[in-house]
């Protein structure tokens, strides 16, 4: 019964959508001259703000670094406290959902999935506490697109291993981090082992270039990961671990034997859930030429059934994109495609707010895509059967390797294609998002991340003090040969 939501929780789920105001501050005593609180934006409603955030000042960062102390409680106690945090997340689901909707623009189904993933991370890492010393002090830099799940995943892994954590959440989503960290403290994580330092990139830069930091977990863009890598190499102790999950240019191949209904559903989910704002999302769809016409007709029909709208409406499939910068970048991309006659389909969107209609854009192949478009935009190419290996070559040539999807009923082809494509998460005859903690760990290859996979058996070892050998650090090589971020 302890896990059932309380009536308060249900009421809390309703009220905060419109009225509640949260504040987020660094969770230690503030420095003498703190930064002034600023309004946080609601991505779906520019007239609304869910609360205020006071960014960490230089003095706050200095205090946090001085005060940080590894969590040296016995493993059993750490496990019990992480499980208690999971319980508190479940009990406070109303506030967490409200924040996911109002601060991050998450639709209700996306928010439910995210809360579940966060709870899964806490219980999984709690159940797998490594028998080794911690690295020391870990900086955890988390993204706005999973402001609860990835944020909690990084922190709970670092804490399970006994590290001190300095958390720098995404600039767009400080309030949910603040609330979640308050729950962690309430459950018994010591304040010196877990400190929140909200702010912009400069806060992250300070927390990844100070020699008192011993390791960094980062999820975000490949370019930022490379800057962090360089700053760590210059300032941190040699061998300090960087655990990075970064971008992708994810493809799916649908051949003429695929079950069309299954493929269409998988594509709609993979490209448009979370408004396409997942690094795992499908970006480039290859459809075999023989079936392309009727297949794309089915796909556009399924798109027409999607509803774009306010996150807290239960009918919403696709909420807003995160901010003005994201919105304008995607809008320009769609406008360019329109002017070049490559727009294949788009659906209606609300007139105001930062909404982008799920859109199809024609491309010749993944090579036409210069960068990851982080929104509900799917690029479509066709291929002839004899071109299969060429496409696989093109997909691998992007240098990324996060997710890949294959829709076919030919067994030999499953084996051939899944062996030939270099991607961390390969999915056959299903959607290519929504990895599951424990049973389907998530992580990329090449420019998409350093590994090990989050929610998998090797992840926690990188948060423990072991001498890292060259072969355990595959990114050293990748970084040396690629040209991004230089």
Binding site for ligand UN1 (CB under 6 A): 143, 145-146, 150, 219, 278-280, 433-435, 442
Instruction: State how far the Cα of 288 lies from the Cα of 388, in Å rounded to an integer.
Output: 9
Instruction: State how far the Cα of 281 lies from the Cα of 302, in Å rounded to an integer.
Output: 17
φ, ψ of residue 224 to 5 degrees: the values are -65, -40
Q: Between residues 27 and 275, which has the closer beta carbon with respect to ligand UN1?
A: 275
- In angstroms, what is the minimal distance from the CB of 437 to ligand UN1? 9
Evaluate whether 318 touches 308 at the Cβ level (below 8 Å).
yes
Contacts of 404 (CB under 8 A, 6+ apart): 250, 251, 252, 395, 421, 423, 425, 426, 427, 432
Instruction: State how far the Cα of 441 lies from the Cα of 425, in Å rounded to an integer.
Output: 8
Of 245, 269, 346, 372, the active-site residue reads 245
Q: Between residues 280 and 288, which has the closer beta carbon with respect to ligand UN1?
A: 280
| Active-site annotation holds for 279 | yes
Q: Between residues 134 and 320, which has the closer beta carbon with respect to ligand UN1?
A: 320
Evaluate whether 184 touches 157 at the Cβ level (below 8 Å).
no
Per DSSP bridges, beta strands 403-407 and 425-428 are parallel
Q: Between residues 84 and 379, which has the closer beta carbon with respect to ligand UN1?
A: 379
Q: Between residues 215 and 248, which has the closer beta carbon with respect to ligand UN1?
A: 248
Instruction: State how far the Cα of 220 lies from the Cα of 248, in Å rounded to an integer.
Output: 11
Instruction: State how far the Cα of 197 lies from the Cα of 183, in Å rounded to an integer.
Output: 16
- In angstroms, what is the minimal distance from the CB of 255 to ligand UN1? 24
| Active-site annotation holds for 245 | yes
Evaluate whether 165 touches 140 at the Cβ level (below 8 Å).
yes
Question: Phi-psi category of 364—alpha, beta or left, where left has phi over 0 and alpha has psi -120 to 50?
Answer: alpha
Could you give the angle at which helices 149-160 and 108-127 cross, rounded to 10 degrees? 10
Q: Between residues 232 and 279, which has the closer beta carbon with respect to ligand UN1?
A: 279
Of 140, 279, 284, 318, the active-site residue reads 279
Tokens in use for 249?
A: 């240019």
Half-sphere exposure in the Cβ direction for 185 (13 Å, CA): 15
- In angstroms, what is the minimal distance from the CB of 135 to ligand UN1? 23
Contacts of 273 (CB under 8 A, 6+ apart): 109, 110, 281, 317, 318, 433
Q: Between residues 200 and 436, which has the closer beta carbon with respect to ligand UN1?
A: 436
Of the candidates 342, 372, 377, the one whose C-alpha atom is nearest the C-alpha of residue 358 is 377
Evaluate whether 243 touches 218 at the Cβ level (below 8 Å).
yes
- In angstroms, what is the minimal distance from the CB of 433 to ligand UN1? 4
Q: Annotated active-site positions, please?
A: 245, 279
């Amino acid at each position: 019964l302890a896990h059932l939501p309380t009536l308060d929780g249900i009421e809390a789920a309703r009220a905060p959508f419109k009225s509640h105001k949260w504040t987020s501050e660094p969770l230690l005593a503030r420095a003498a001259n703190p930064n002034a609180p600023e309004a946080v934006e609601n991505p779906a409603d520019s007239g609304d703000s869910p609360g205020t955030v006071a960014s960490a000042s230089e003095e706050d960062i200095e205090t946090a670094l001085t005060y940080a102390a590894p969590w040296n409680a016995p493993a059993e106690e750490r496990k019990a406290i992480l499980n208690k945090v999971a319980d508190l997340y479940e009990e406070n689901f109303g506030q967490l959902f409200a924040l996911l909707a109002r601060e991050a623009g998450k639709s209700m189904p996306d928010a439910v999935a995210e809360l579940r993933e966060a709870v899964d991370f806490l219980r999984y890492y709690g159940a797998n506490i490594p028998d080794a010393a911690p690295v020391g002090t870990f900086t955890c830099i988390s993204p706005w697109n999973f402001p609860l799940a990835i944020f909690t995943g990084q922190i709970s892994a670092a804490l399970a291993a006994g590290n001190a954590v300095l958390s720098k959440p995404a600039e767009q989503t400080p309030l949910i981090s603040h609330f979640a960290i308050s729950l962690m403290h309430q459950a018994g994580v010591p304040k010196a082992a877990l400190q929140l330092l909200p702010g912009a990139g400069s806060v992250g830069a300070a927390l990844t270039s100070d020699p008192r930091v011993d390791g960094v977990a980062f999820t975000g863009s490949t370019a930022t990961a490379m800057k962090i890598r360089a700053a760590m190499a210059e300032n941190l102790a040699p061998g300090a671990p960087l655990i990075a999950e970064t971008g992708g240019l994810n493809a799916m191949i649908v051949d003429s034997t695929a079950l069309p209904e299954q493929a269409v559903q998988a594509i709609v989910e993979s490209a448009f859930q979370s408004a396409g704002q997942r690094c795992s999302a499908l970006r480039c769809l290859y459809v075999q030429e023989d079936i392309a016409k009727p297949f794309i007709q089915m796909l556009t029909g399924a798109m027409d059934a999607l509803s774009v709208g306010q996150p807290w409406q239960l009918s919403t499939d696709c909420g807003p994109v995160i901010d003005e910068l994201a919105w304008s970048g995607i809008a320009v991309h769609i406008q360019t495609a329109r002017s070049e006659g490559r727009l294949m389909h788009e659906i209606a969107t609300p007139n105001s707010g930062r909404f982008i209609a799920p859109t199809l854009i024609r491309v010749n192949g993944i090579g036409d895509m210069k960068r990851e478009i982080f929104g509900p935009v799917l690029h479509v190419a066709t291929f002839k059967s004899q071109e299969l290996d060429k496409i696989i070559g093109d997909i691998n040539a992007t240098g990324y390797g996060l997710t890949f999807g294959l829709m076919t009923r030919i067994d030999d082809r499953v084996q051939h294609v899944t062996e030939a494509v270099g991607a961390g998460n390969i999915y056959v005859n299903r959607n290519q998002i929504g990895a599951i903690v424990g049973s389907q760990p998530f992580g990329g290859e090449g420019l998409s991340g350093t590994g090990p996979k989050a929610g998998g058996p090797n992840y926690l070892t990188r948060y423990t003090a072991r001498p890292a050998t060259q072969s355990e650090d595959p990114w050293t090589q990748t970084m040396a040969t690629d040209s991004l971020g230089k």
